[in-house]
Structure 1
Amino acid sequence: MIRLVVVDDHPVVRDGLRGMVATQSDFELVGEAASGMEALAVVAAVSPDVVLTDLRMPDPSGGALIRLIRERVPAAAVLVLTTHDTDSDVLSAVEAGAVGYLLKDAPREELFRAVRAAVRGDTVLSPAVAAVLVGRVRPRQGSRELSTRELEVLRLIARGNTNREAAAELYISEATVKTHLLHVYAKLGVSDRASAVATAYRGGILD
């Protein structure tokens, strides 16, 4: 059973998400919150598997809220569901530790897949959000820290591909993709896929 907390300051949105969650036999809604402070209290109390949160709410919000959730309940995966897809919103959320970023016009099946992927530790980005990152993913000339293959894997991860999809794209095994990702994490000083993309962009490895 995947235990979820829904965080949104609009009651109608929470009502809609509550109804959607109830249609899935492997989902359980264990808490709701209408503000950042309430979210932190609820998440700490119930320790969910996934926190499904809007980005802009009463304080704390955005990257600050995501970072605090990750610090206080590291096992909880944070999945953003919002209407905002600007570069700054996407990058701040990903850098703070969000494992996924979807827009509120996403089909419900896409949302369900994203929740399940978040539990597995996979990064899920809506097409519009992926475009924000992919548009910047271009190796800088002279960047030598990551190998060519590591950059290729990182580029696919930035597009939202799973390990299996990246393996198929590059004609290598899924285990080899995982190995390349571990090397990327070690070189960039991060521990997850989303942080690797954000750190590589900010460090000039991806442009």
Structure 2
Amino acid sequence: MTELEKCMAGEYYDCHNEIFLSLKAKARKLLKEYNALQYEQKEEKRKILDRLFYEAGTNVSVAQPFLCDYGYNIHIGNNVSINMNCTFVDCNKIEIGNNVLIASNVQLYTAAHPVELSERLTPDWNPESEEYFCRTYALPIRIGNGCWLGGGVIVLPGVTIGDGSVIGAGSVVTRDIPANSLAVGNPCRIIRSINLPAGS
């Protein structure tokens, strides 16, 4: 397997491999251009988002400043609003459905490291090599249709948030949240179900 294939499979990978450095360099250049644009330059913003993200649907708004690792792994549906100061660490896929609101300062993290130090350190690491000194893996994040993530929410690797769910401001989402749930806190817990509109 290539390092990119290992990464997407959730296995340990070398995050300093040339493919990742190349993707990151491209993203940094596009982000610098994007974040320098004026608020009203909507056409110019859209052109950059089309080059930065793997896909973005219609009526997608990404407020500035915005940061991501690669952009390559970000998939966004239709009618999505991403407010200012959001950070998407997209080492693996970040999939955002339709009709989604993402408030300011939301952080989506797909990358992770082992908890135990003995597992976290790269075996036989050589400081003169380009390999990273600790092991890294990445797991996808999925945010369903009709979700709303409040200000400052942090979503950790491997989490799926089901359709129609709302995550309260400041929450840290460490595990999957089922559809149509109101969930808050650190760690994020379900408070109650959300009633669906008639006929939905």
By percentage of residues, which structure has more helix? 1
Interval of TM-score (by shorter of Structure 1 and Structure 2)? under 0.3
- Normalised by the size of structure 1, how large is the TM-score? 0.26
- Normalised by the size of structure 2, how large is the TM-score? 0.27
